Structures are given as C-alpha cells and as structure tokens.
C-alpha cells in the first residue's frame, strides 16, 4: 500500500473529527469509513491506529475502536496545555509567517465575516447546520495555518492535537445554536486582531491575543456544558488536596 493512502485517510478522519462528523463515543467501523472516504479498508485501519496512538481514538478489546470521550477535568487540562502552546505558536508565526500565509489568513477572516453576515439575516441569531459546518472549517483552517506559519513542526503538531481534542470533543458540533452571532463576532474580531499583529511582526501582541482567545473559549465551553448538562463530559472529582484553579479565568 502506498504510504500516501494511509496519510490521506488519516488527514480525512482528522477533518471529520474537527467537523463533528465523528462524535465522542461513536464506533469507528473501518468498512463504513472506507466507503465514505472512497478508500480500501487497509489505509483506513492504519489511520484509525494512528489516531489511537495520538489519544484521539480508544481501542476497546472485543468491541472495536471508538472516538475518544473526555471528562471535564481532562478538558480543563487540555485548555491549560492550549494556553501554554498556542500563544507560543502565534508569537513565532508573527516572526516567521510569509506574505502569502498572511494573505491567506486575511482571506479566511473575510470568509468568517461572510458567514456572520449570513447568520445575521436570520431572526434566530444563531447558525444553522450549514453555517456551523462552514464556520468550523474556517476556524480549523485558520488555526492550522497559524501553527504551520510558526515553522516549528513539533509545536505545530502538539498544538493542533490539543485543539482538536478540546474543540472536537467539548463543543457539540451537531448543535448549531451554540454558534451565536455575538459569539461569532467575538471570535472574528480576535482572529482579525491576530492577523494584524502577525502582519506587523508584533510577536508580543500575537501571544497576548491568543492567550485571551483560549481563555475566553474555555469559559464559553464550560458555560455551555454547565447550561446544557452535557453527559459526555461529566466531571471526575479530584481529592480536595488537588484543588484546581478556577476554570472561568
């Protein structure tokens, strides 16, 4: 089997995770996935194994492979890691991004604004399924490009994985009402500020913008989990001697 097939299947499954097409707890059936992405089962099996080695998929003996589920404590830990890594990636991207990458970031921000304008025409003031899918794809492309522009392959890989875990498994992508016009505007403004900082090579500003962005995202995610009573991310209590920092900061 050409190695490129396994890699193509791997990237396609990661994209499906980011888009919420593979949801937490879902069983991954190789034949079904192979039919969906138009490949044989061999590269799909290889891709699922790779995702399992990265912690994105769980292998259950005698039952098969399932999309990883995380608790609220694990989710909080993931956001701690994101807050440490993503500002570093943004800072480095401000120093190393090419003009072409900066222009591509601007184009993605413009696409995001177009989605917001589309959402604003609805009286519901939140996304429908089509708008949500477009928004998630824009967000994925934006952050992956920032990571890539850092020119640090290890930082980029780890940051991308933690973001995929945190966002793919915590925000219920099949519930478009979670994306409101107000929330989308906040994200869009943050992305626009980040592109401007990268464009003028202001590494300190880029770092601060992303740190604030991650913190606000964490607060919004946990607020939605509390409001909706998300059973897929139920908290695991820790001993009192291991008290956590407040999660709303």
Residue 185 sits in the same domain as residue 109: yes
Residue 83 sits in the same domain as residue 35: no
Judged against a pLDDT cut of 90, whether residue 87 lies above it is answered with yes
Q: How much is the pLDDT for 241?
A: 33
Domain end: 67, 101, 117, which one?
Answer: 67
Whether the CB-CB separation of 141 and 83 falls below 8 Å is answered with no
Q: How much is the pLDDT for 56?
A: 86
Domain end: 48, 67, 86, which one?
Answer: 67
CATH number at residue 50: 1.10.10.10
Could you give the percent of the chain with pLDDT greater than 70? 85
Residue 62 sits in the same domain as residue 31: yes
Judged against a pLDDT cut of 60, whether residue 13 lies above it is answered with yes
Q: For residues 21 and 213, what is the distance between their CA atoms, to the nearest angstrom?
A: 25
Residue 61 sits in the same domain as residue 76: no
Residue 112 sits in the same domain as residue 187: yes
Judged against a pLDDT cut of 70, whether residue 113 lies above it is answered with yes
CATH number at residue 139: 1.20.120.530
Q: For residues 163 and 139, what is the distance between their CA atoms, to the nearest angstrom?
A: 11
Residue 151 sits in the same domain as residue 214: yes
Q: How much is the pLDDT for 99?
A: 98
Residue 63 sits in the same domain as residue 130: no
Judged against a pLDDT cut of 50, whether residue 12 lies above it is answered with yes
**Range among 46-60, 72-86, 87-101 rated most confident:** 87-101
Whether the CB-CB separation of 89 and 159 falls below 8 Å is answered with yes
Residue 101 sits in the same domain as residue 193: yes
Q: Which pLDDT tens digit goes with each residue over 156-200?
A: 888 888 887 776 655 455 566 678 899 899 999 999 999 999 999
Residue 62 sits in the same domain as residue 79: no
**Number of independent structural domains in the chain:** 2
Please give the residue range of the domain that contains residue 122.
72-233
The per-residue pLDDT of the chain, averaged, comes to 84
Residue 82 sits in the same domain as residue 47: no
Judged against a pLDDT cut of 50, whether residue 228 lies above it is answered with yes
Q: Which pLDDT tens digit goes with each residue over 230-239?
A: 444 443 333 3
Q: For residues 229 and 153, what is the distance between their CA atoms, to the nearest angstrom?
A: 37
Q: Which pLDDT tens digit goes with each residue over 15-56?
A: 888 777 888 889 999 999 999 999 999 999 999 999 998 888
Average pLDDT over residues 128-142: 88
Q: How much is the pLDDT for 3?
A: 58
Q: For residues 208 and 23, what is the distance between their CA atoms, to the nearest angstrom?
A: 32
**Range among 50-64, 89-103, 110-124 rated most confident:** 89-103
Instruction: Kindly write down the DSSP assignment for every residue of 98-152, as one continuous string.
Output: -HHHHHHHHHHHHHHHHHHHHHHTSTT-B--HHHHHHHHHHHHHHHHHHHHHTT-
Residue 140 lies in a domain: yes
Residue 39 sits in the same domain as residue 131: no
Q: How much is the pLDDT for 181?
A: 92
Residue 56 lies in a domain: yes
Residue 201 lies in a domain: yes
């Amino acid at each position: 089997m050409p190695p490129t097939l396994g890699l193509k299947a791997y990237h396609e499954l990661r994209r499906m995770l980011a888009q919420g097409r593979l949801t937490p707890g879902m069983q991954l059936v190789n034949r079904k996935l192979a039919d969906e992405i138009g490949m044989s089962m061999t590269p799909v099996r290889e891709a699922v194994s790779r995702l399992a080695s990265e912690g994105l998929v769980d292998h259950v003996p005698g039952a098969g492979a399932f999309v990883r589920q995380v608790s609220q404590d694990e989710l909080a830990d993931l956001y701690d890691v994101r807050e440490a890594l993503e500002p570093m990636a943004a800072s480095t991207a401000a120093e190393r991004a090419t003009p072409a990458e900066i222009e591509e970031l601007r184009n993605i921000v413009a696409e995001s604004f177009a989605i917001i304008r589309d959402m604003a025409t609805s009286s519901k003031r939140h996304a429908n399924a089509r708008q949500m899918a477009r928004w998630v794809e824009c967000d994925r492309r934006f952050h992956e490009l920032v990571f890539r522009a850092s020119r640090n392959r290890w930082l980029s890989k780890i940051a991308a994985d933690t973001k995929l875990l945190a966002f793919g498994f915590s925000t219920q992508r099949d519930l478009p009402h979670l994306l409101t016009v107000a929330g989308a505007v906040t994200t869009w403004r943050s992305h626009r500020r980040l592109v401007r900082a990268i464009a003028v090579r202001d590494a300190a500003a880029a770092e601060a913008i992303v740190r604030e962005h991650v913190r606000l995202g964490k607060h919004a995610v946990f607020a939605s989990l509390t409001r909706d009573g998300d059973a897929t991310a139920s908290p695991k209590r820790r001993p009192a001697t291991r008290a956590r920092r407040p999660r709303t900061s």
